[in-house]
Structure 1
Amino acid sequence: MASNQQTRPGIGELAKDTVRGRIGVVMGELGGRVHLRPIGGGKEWEAVPETVKAPSTREELSARLAVRNSNSRYGL
């Protein structure tokens, strides 16, 4: 693999769907689509593999903080 190519996040890792601008956990790949689920749980969505990449550190922290803040509002 060339050094300028990025590998797509694997199952259980965080990934960013660049089309939707959402970050989720990679649940798997089926039918040529990557299946992602929101960090805090919820309904999966599909993304085209070419539009899925690893989130930046800032994006990951922001997504995790949003889930934590949401959970604290509801006493979770």
Structure 2
Amino acid sequence: MSRPGTYAVDVRDGRVGQIMGRVGGYVQLRPPGGGREWDCPPEALRPAPPGDVLRARVRERNREGRLP
């Protein structure tokens, strides 16, 4: 489930992220559209449904449009 390039949900806070790799005992996730990576324990991940990925991408695009 934790293949790089796939999307997952961090069940601790509901964030959707693209799996970038593993460091130590954690999986590194990056928000759709880029941004700062965060670490998540593998047991706190679940596959991201396509609708969740789409919503996360739209939020990122909207946020980019509001930046000066």
Q: TM-score, normalization: structure 1?
A: 0.75
Sequence identity percentage:
40
Q: Per the alignment, in what secondary structure is the counterpart of residue 23 of structure 1?
A: strand
**Gaps spanning 5+ residues in structure 2: where?**
none
1:19-34 alignment to 2 at 5 Å? 19-34=12-27
> Which contiguous aligned blocks of 4+ residues in structure 1 show a shift greater than 4 angstroms?
none
Q: Secondary structure at the match of 1:34?
A: strand
Task: Give 1:58 deviation, angstroms.
Answer: 1.9
- Over the aligned positions, Cα root-mean-square deviation in angstroms equals 1.7
Number of residues of Structure 1 aligned to a counterpart in Structure 2: 68
- Whether 1:44 aligns to 2:37 is yes
Runs of at least 5 residues in structure 1 that lack an aligned partner in the other structure: 1-7
